Amino acid sequence: MIDLHCHSTISDGVLPPADLVRHAHGRGIRILSLTDHDDLGGLEEAREVAESLGMHFINGVEISVLWHERTVHIVGLRIDPQHAPLREGLAAMREGRILRAEKIAEELAKSGIHDALQGAYRYSQGNIISRAHFARYLVELGHAKNTASVFKRYLVKGKPGYVRHEWASLATALEWIHGSGGIAVLAHPGRYDMGKQLLKQLIEEFIQLGGRGIEVVTGSHRPEQFNTFAQIAQQYQLLSSLGSDYHGKGQSYIDMGSLPSLPTNCQPIWHDWPEYHQVSQQ
Ligand SMILES: [Zn+2]
Ligand SMILES: [Zn+2]
């Protein structure tokens, strides 16, 4: 089984890279990519553990992109973590996250929620700070029953704690990914708050910039969206990807190893990967 999208404590997941890989192994995953937000810091540890368990490990990253005033996620698979423009670009983005976290805390304070910066940093444990860490603090305070419901009432556009942030542009993110020898994948397209027309424009721009993959089966899609995006993948001749978007127990919609296979009309993004051919021969 394959999982090409998950998060460790290096970004906003709850398991350290080594534990995350062991969890994936226990859930039957044989080809795994770790795709932390804007950070490559977990790849070495994850690869070491994956290989010691006889799994195949794919270097990955999930880059936050600002596109038409919306945050869009682009997954880069088979990237080279040593590629300087990718490393340096992501380092600059992480610095921006620290400034954003300070502004989010100021905004939440205006709504009567205090000490959110300290609260969020307690959850990020010295790793990169994200809205998910604020969400966990808001759940702890009892403002919502779980992190998913936090994002209906806080931290998003028009709600307390929202701060606009300058992420990378779509073109820059794809340049970093392609420059490092990777394949760009449009992450969970069904999750974006945009109409059909704008989504079409996003997909077309992504393809023009050399993007080749799209997530079809993901823990961030509702099951009824799998076929919708399988059809879109087919229509645009995009390669289909599959990943849990696992962030840890209680944080994700779905555990690793429990997603269905890609619909049969999809061309899997891994169809020509040597790791896949090795696994399927076992
Ligand atoms: Zn994402
Ligand atoms: Zn993700």
The answer, yes or no, to whether residue 127 has pLDDT greater than 70, is: yes
Task: State in Å: Cα 281 to ligand 1 middle.
Answer: 32
pLDDT at position 166 is 73
* 160 part of a folded domain: no
Task: State in Å: Cα 187 to ligand 1 middle.
Answer: 6
Mean pLDDT of 233-260: 93
pLDDT at position 282 is 64
pLDDT at position 54 is 97
CA distance 265 to 209: 24
Domain co-membership, 191 together with 81: yes
Task: State in Å: Cα 116 to ligand 1 middle.
Answer: 23
Domain co-membership, 82 together with 109: no
CATH number for 146: 1.10.150.650
CA distance 158 to 178: 35
Domain co-membership, 74 together with 7: yes
Q: Which domain holds residue 8?
A: 2-90+166-281
* 50 part of a folded domain: yes
Structural domain tally of the chain?
Answer: 2
CATH number for 180: 3.20.20.140
95 vs 117, higher pLDDT? 117
Chain position carrying tokens 């400034």: 99
17-56 residue pLDDT tens: 999 999 999 999 999 999 999 999 999 999 999 999 999 9
Domain co-membership, 266 together with 194: yes
Nearest ligand to the C-alpha of residue 34? 2
173-219 residue pLDDT tens: 999 999 999 999 999 999 998 999 999 999 999 999 999 999 999 99
Q: Which residues surround ligand 1, an ion (CB under 5 A)?
A: 73, 187
Task: State in Å: Cα 7 to ligand 2 middle.
Answer: 6
pLDDT at position 193 is 83
Domain co-membership, 125 together with 14: no
The answer, yes or no, to whether residue 234 has pLDDT greater than 90, is: yes
Can you name the residues that pair with 213 across neighbouring β-strands?
Answer: 185, 239
pLDDT at position 236 is 98
Task: State in Å: Cα 35 to ligand 1 middle.
Answer: 9
Average pLDDT, the chain: 95
128-144 residue pLDDT tens: 788 999 999 999 999 99
* 159 part of a folded domain: no
pTM of the model: 0.87
Domain co-membership, 85 together with 108: no
CA distance 131 to 154: 10
Task: State in Å: Cα 143 to ligand 2 middle.
Answer: 24
Task: State in Å: Cα 245 to ligand 2 middle.
Answer: 5
Task: State in Å: Cα 37 to ligand 2 middle.
Answer: 7
Domain co-membership, 108 together with 188: no
* 73 part of a folded domain: yes
